[in-house]
Amino acid sequence: MNSVSTDICIIGAGPVGLFAVFEAGLLKLRCHVVDALPQVGGQLSEIYPKKPIYDIPGFPEVLAGDLVQNLMRQIEPFHPTFTLGERVEGYEKLEDGSFRVTTIDGTEILCKAIAIAGGLGSFEPRKPAIDSLADFEGGKGVYYMVRDPETFRNQRLVIAGGGDSALDWTIFLAEVAKEVTLVHRGTTFRGAADSAEKVKNLHEAGKVKLVLSSNVTHVHGNGQLHGVTITANDGTAAQVEADSFIPLFGLTPKLGPIGEWGLELEDDAVKVNTVDYSTSEPGIFAIGDINTYPGKLKLILCGFHEAALMCQGAFKYINPDKKYVLKYTTVNGVPTL
Ligand SMILES: Cc1cc2nc3c(=O)[nH]c(=O)nc-3n(C[C@H](O)[C@H](O)[C@H](O)COP(=O)(O)OP(=O)(O)OC[C@H]3O[C@@H](n4cnc5c(N)ncnc54)[C@H](O)[C@@H]3O)c2cc1C
């Protein structure tokens, strides 16, 4: 079992969770960040990496993906650690007021405070309605996200979907896998036109099989996936051998397990006190899109403000006897941890 020990466990590597690492670092608090997605950046990386944002102070215009990269650079001096691709499930409060946070894959994070920066909740994959799909989840051949492309080296893959994820991973995995078949129910793709063009070129070069106007309708195997049935819109069906099937039909956000933690909620968001963004459970804070209070605005800049005040609250919770004196970064620079 993986076990990590830190000062603050930040749940969510969106912009607000990442900036919280910076604010915590200024107070010499170490952070471990956990995200259910395989990459950092939250909605910015998952939904709109190429869109310009115009309301980040000091940046007249910044691409969402670039903002995430800048945040990662900004927190480098504090050496945060990350667990990516694992959803946080539960927590236990220990006798000394510290916490044990656990993920779906059994990683445990021992921490002195928890900052929930879970945004709209954890993104859950949209699963196609195929019988016995669940029998092949958990490493047995059906994957809803590509966490590590090496998993698929030299495999025969069937990818399904018509959006950016399906196109991007088809292009990337064409270099890694032995064989890639992309199945799409339509004839045109929803994803970026240049990615669709690249997939068509790979198909013409014989590097990708493209099956349009079709759906994957059955999965086959015996404990491990051996193949899938692809049914065309006109009803003709063919069985294809496959080591892995990757349906990429997008992700939907769900508050998920944090909704069951017994914290005071309102409209699927965690209620907080705006002095320090503490929740109804001492030592647990909530910042960014996941929290609610009178006047709440779901904006990145508001989340950054909340992160700064939350860290003051976490500092006091962790060090009840220490007094904190505000120091400007222009005077003190950025300390390292
Ligand atoms: C298309 C679009 C355009 C936008 N444009 C702007 C804009 O111009 N300006 C602006 O200020 N805002 C904009 N927003 C809103 C902005 O993206 C959000 O306010 C911001 O992403 C909130 O950041 P966050 O860190 O709170 O949450 P998120 O970015 O949602 O990140 C939360 C992370 O927490 C993770 N998570 C949740 N639960 C768990 C769990 N149990 N275990 C592990 N991980 C978990 C999720 O996987 C996710 O990665 C836009 C949003 C969209 C969709």
At 237, which CATH number?
3.50.50.60
Mutate to test the pocket of ligand 1, among 23, 37, 39, 43 (most ligand atoms within 8 A of CB): 43
Same domain, 260 and 218: no
Helix (H, G, I), strand (E, B) or coil at 70: helix
Q: Is 302 in the pocket of ligand 1 (CB under 6 A)?
A: no
Whether 264 maps to a domain, the answer reads yes
Same domain, 152 and 186: yes
Token representation of residue 38:
């395989």
Question: For the residues of 132-155, what is the DSSP string, one character each?
Answer: TGGGGTTTSSB-SS-S-GGGGTT-
Same domain, 201 and 295: no
Same domain, 14 and 111: yes
Q: Is 64 in the pocket of ligand 1 (CB under 6 A)?
A: no
Same domain, 223 and 269: no
Which ligand 1 atom is the nearest neighbour of the CA of 48? 1
The pTM of the whole model exceeds 0.95: no
Total domains in the fold of the chain: 2
Whether 337 maps to a domain, the answer reads no
Last residue within a domain, chosen from 211, 234, 249: 249
Same domain, 230 and 137: yes
Last residue within a domain, chosen from 214, 249, 284: 249
C-alpha–C-alpha distance, residues 8 and 21, integer Å = 9
Whether 33 maps to a domain, the answer reads yes
Name, in order, each residue with C-beta under 8 angstroms of 174's C-beta and a sequence gap of 6 or more: 180, 202, 207, 208
Q: What is the DSSP-derived secondary structure letter of residue 323?
A: P
Domain interval for residue 296? 3-123+252-332
CA 335 – ligand 1 centroid, Å = 28
Whether 39 maps to a domain, the answer reads yes
pLDDT in single tens digits along all 337 residues of the chain? 799 999 999 999 999 999 999 999 999 999 999 999 889 999 999 888 888 999 999 999 999 999 999 999 999 999 999 999 999 999 999 999 999 999 999 999 999 999 999 998 877 889 999 999 999 998 899 999 887 789 999 999 999 999 988 999 999 999 999 999 999 999 999 988 999 999 999 999 999 999 999 999 999 999 999 999 999 999 999 999 999 999 999 888 788 899 999 999 998 899 999 999 999 999 999 999 999 999 999 999 999 999 999 999 999 999 999 988 888 999 888 887 7
Mutate to test the pocket of ligand 1, among 300, 301, 304 (most ligand atoms within 8 A of CB): 300
Same domain, 106 and 158: no
CA 120 – ligand 1 centroid, Å = 6
Q: Is 168 annotated as a binding residue?
A: no
